[in-house]
A and B are shown apart, each in its own frame.
Chain A
Amino acid sequence: DIQMTQSPSSLSASVGDRVTITCRASQTITTYLNWYQQKPGKAPKVLIYAASNLQNGVPSRFSGSGSGTDFTLTISSLQPEDFAAYYCQQSYSPPFTFGPGTKVDIK
């Protein structure tokens, strides 16, 4: 199985901050990397697919980059509704695996 890691596991930030979350795969996954946001008690919601493609309806302050094994999710200006957990997920090779998550909370 392809193992996914994320860093940091949690971070505290203020509204307006630029936030970057990193995801690393245990082997190359080209650009088969997706990012999800999850709020408490809710299902995950896709933000970015195929490493850098913004899902319809997702604000443009979210962006993704990377290829191979290293990827980043950036929130250019953190908004109150962005405090949540973020997960990366590889879809290069089944079983599809998720990272352990990064929790973003209010400083």
Chain B
Amino acid sequence: QVQLQESGPGLVKPSQTLSLTCTVSGDSISSTGHYWSWIRQNPGKGLEWIGYIYYSGDTYYNPSLKSRIAMSIDASKNQFSLSLTSVNAADTAVYYCARMILPRYFDYWGQGTLVTVSS
């Protein structure tokens, strides 16, 4: 059974960096054809795809966030991570990690973690 679990601070101050990690179990993060994604949801904007990283390190980021995002992968720990810099209140959301498989749909999701941006 594939499981994903997000971890990281639930509160981040404005202008600081949001950092989250997703730990994958039941699947190898190095599996071909599996793309590891971050998606967020806030009441005002619905579901927003942030980007994905492939085991090779290739990434694709949402252009709306591209200047502030970095994703990385740690195959030894079967984890991937998200870093979002210069956060503001609009970045307050539930952040999900998810696995995308071909033909490009999200078949497994983490439970989500609420990140609040506030001083």
Contact = CB atoms under 8 A, between A and B. Distances in A.
> Are A and B subunits of one complex?
yes
Interface of A: 1, 32, 34, 36, 42-46, 49-50, 55, 87, 89, 91, 94-101
Of B96, B98, B104, B110, most A-chain CB atoms within 10 Å: B104
A96 B104 contact: yes
Give the dominant DSSP class at A's interface: loop
A34 B47 contact: no
Nearest to A94: B60
Nearest to B104: A91
30 contacts: A1-B63, A32-B103, A32-B104, A34-B105, A42-B111, A43-B98, A43-B109, A43-B110, A43-B111, A43-B112, A44-B47, A44-B106, A44-B109, A45-B109, A46-B106, A46-B107, A49-B107, A50-B105, A55-B107, A87-B47, A89-B106, A91-B100, A91-B104, A91-B105, A95-B49, A95-B62, A95-B64, A97-B49, A98-B48, A100-B46
A96 B60 CA distance: 10
B46 A101 contact: yes
Nearest to B50: A95
A70 to B, nearest CB: 19
B49 A96 contact: yes
